[in-house]
Chains A and B, each alone.
Chain A
Amino acid sequence: MTQDTVISVRDLVVGFGSRTVLDRVTFDVRRGEVFGFVGGSGSGKSVLLRTIIGLIPSRAGSIEVLGTRLDTATREERQRVERHWGILFQQGALFSSLTVLQNVQFPMVEYLDLPQRLMDEMAAAKLEMVGLRKADHNKMPSELSGGMTKRVALARALALDPALVFLDEPTSGLDPIAAGDFDALIKTLQQTLGLTVFMITHDLESLNTICDRVGALADGRVVATGSVASMLDCEHPWVRSYFRGRRATALNSRLANSES
């Protein structure tokens, strides 16, 4: 693993019972890029993400994140790595009994020993960075809209200034405008903070606008990796129908028009 590789997955096998969900998955994510993973519903994208972050045990293969072999790491080594990543869950996974501000402060309270004033300031700064109004800082998660929940979850993922952020379908459940805004937000933050972003998505528009590289998951394997443009040349049937299907064609032609 070189300096520039943040995530390195080799021959990863994951299964439940007699079913193998991921079969020898191999890919790399480089420092400072936005890497998007696509795949049909039920293709194991979320399983892949949950395996990398250690929520699901793997059967074989290696996972290396930020220079640490996670599949063989001790508890302490693992915690050291966990401190440097942030995760945005699909449904936000905000703690329902804490306010928005407390949710963002939670990782700070857990990992750092900071004065309350600084934590208040930083949490407010993070929330402002993700575009949440001040009036919403003391709300409970159940009082937030879907878009706001995602923003707060992103602020919480960024609370410790991680080097690496995992996003599980960041734009799902958002309207196209909100999804576009959220994409732009991710891109801005990624550039500003120098993040590496690993995201799982269904959203062709996100892939086109913010991902530097894309991996496609089908039949439990990575069938293609490369830029979005290179995906168009891939001959795998699923990749072809995804990137050259009706919705994709419409989108691509629109993009082509706007560029010309």
Chain B
Amino acid sequence: MGSPPSLIARPGADGIEFAAGGAWTVVQARDLDGLIDEAVRNTPAGKPVTVDLHQLTALDTYGAWLIERLVRAREALTGSVRVVGLPERYQSLFEQIRRTEHDGAVPPPSITPLKERIAWLGEQTVRFGHELLSFAAMLGAVVLALGRAIRNPRTFRLTPTLHHLDRVGWQAVPIMLLITFLIGCIIAQQGFFHFRKFGADAYVVDMVGILVVREIGVLIIAIMMAGRSGSAYTAELGSMKMREEIDALRTMGRDPVEVLILPRIVALVIALPMLAFLGSLAALYGGGLVAWFYGGMSPAIYIERLREAISLTHFEVGMIKAPFMALVIGIVACTQGLAVQGSAESLGRETTASVVKSIFLVIVLDGLFAVFFAAVDM
């Protein structure tokens, strides 16, 4: 586009004269930037300057700004700059650029690295506090909404609850069964492989049974739920927040906790124990298949051994934990969803935070339960 740009400095009638020629547009901006900087650097200060634009063939805002940059730099040195020969058609463009009063972009406030680190530490601490607080606030709001729903069952939103139950419960069944089945197979296989060395094959069934029913079944399902449904909750609520749907709901006198969050959490609290139960069955089934084909233990013996190994208590321990884990996942997911700000990036950040936090909390909760059940002899 156009002829190559040039900027020639020559001694003029009074002081220095710069003759600009060729096309001064965005395409040549990189070269022009160099030309202008060189002109500013290499010409002695203290002399009046004339910029001659007769030879210009094209000019846009980039070219105009670069000429203006030269003019300003010289003005700062000598105070006398004249621009001559500007083609008529670029007059208003040049005027527009001359009117801008900036000296580059405003740099964001700079902080020294050490100070920044300390400030970061402080911010993170405060944020952690806020997060705990918002978690507690959400828990409280959900309990309150649940209380209202119990007192006045008509306000409870059954249809959305069933819809979410279908999504997080029923539709999750195949994948949950598959994963727990495989986990059961792996535990049994590893058990046989290692226990065989001690001739303790028979105890593999005890291990599989207790591990699956008491810990693994519910834990795997909870982690899967955090990844599958918790993230979905966060993303849904987050994009509703971004598009002001939640504000709209609030202005219509409806509590978002009651309309959006309670049905989701109730669905999760119902679905997770069911899935944990089904998952445990699938894992025991997988363990049984491995015992039969790999361990050479007939199904009848496997079932017999299982009956001796697992007591109702083990089953209860597993099942008691499930709804609490669901509650934690739901609360975390919804809290993070409502924390989404305007940007797409924040939606991604909160969704990640939702999954990471709920998995972490699920495992912490499992540990606390272990301590508790040990204390009450279960």
Contact = CB atoms under 8 A, between A and B. Distances in A.
A143 B33 contact: no
B47 interface: no
B25 interface: yes
B105 A101 contact: yes
Given A121-B105, A134-B106, A129 B65 contact: no
Contact of B33 (A96, A115, A140): A115
A112 B29 contact: yes
B26 interface: yes
Contacts of A230: none
A140 B343 contact: yes
Interface in B76-118: 89, 92-93, 96-97, 100-102, 104-106, 108
A118 B33 CA distance: 7
Given A122-B65, A123-B105, A124-B105, A142 B96 contact: no
Q: Which of A96, A101, A113, A137 has the most CB of B within 10 A?
A: A96
B60 interface: yes
B377 interface: no
B288 to A, nearest CB: 51
B338 to A, nearest CB: 15
B26 A161 contact: yes
Nearest to A193: B93
Contacts of B108: 138
Contact of A124 (B69, B92, B102): B102
Q: Which of B30, B96, B345 has the most CB of A within 10 A?
A: B96
B352 interface: no
B158 interface: no
Given A97-B343, A121-B69, A138 B62 contact: no
Interface in A31-61: none
Given A113-B30, A138-B108, A122 B62 contact: yes
B4 interface: no
B30 A114 contact: yes
B26 A143 contact: no
A96 B26 contact: no
B344 interface: yes
A239 interface: no
B341 interface: yes
Contacts of A140: 342-343
B61 interface: yes
B150 to A, nearest CB: 38
Interface residues of A, number: 33
Interface in A97-120: 97, 101, 112-115, 117-118, 120
Contact of A120 (B33, B62, B92, B104): B104
A125 B343 contact: no
A129 B343 contact: no
Contacts of B96: 129, 192
A96 B69 CA distance: 31
Q: Which of A121, A124, A137, A141 has the most CB of B within 10 A?
A: A121
Interface in B44-92: 60-62, 65-66, 69, 89, 92
A108 B62 CA distance: 11
A100 B50 CA distance: 36
A17 to B, nearest CB: 27
Interface residues of B, number: 28
A203 interface: no
Contacts, number: 81
A128 interface: yes
B106 A137 contact: yes
A81 interface: no
Interface in B1-49: 25-26, 29-30, 33
Interface string A68-107: 0000000000000000000000000000110001000000
Given A142-B341, A161-B62, A192 B92 contact: yes
Contact of A96 (B104, B105, B106, B345): B345
A142 B30 contact: no
Given A112-B29, A114-B33, A129-B96, A134 B102 contact: yes
A160 interface: yes
A126 interface: yes
Given A97-B344, A128-B100, A161 B60 contact: yes
Interface in A149-176: 158, 160-161
A117 B104 contact: yes
A96 B61 contact: no
Contacts of B101: 128
A209 interface: no
Contacts of B93: 192-194
Contacts of A161: 25-26, 60-62
25 contacts: A96-B345, A101-B105, A112-B29, A113-B30, A114-B30, A120-B104, A121-B65, A121-B102, A122-B62, A122-B65, A124-B100, A124-B102, A125-B61, A126-B61, A128-B100, A134-B106, A135-B106, A137-B105, A138-B106, A141-B343, A143-B342, A161-B60, A192-B92, A193-B60, A194-B89
Interface of A: 96-97, 101, 112-115, 117-118, 120-126, 128-129, 134-135, 137-138, 140-143, 158, 160-161, 191-194
Rank and list the top 9 A-B pairs by shortest CB-CB distance, nearest first. Answer: A142-B342, A96-B343, A97-B345, A120-B105, A161-B60, A124-B102, A128-B100, A124-B105, A192-B92
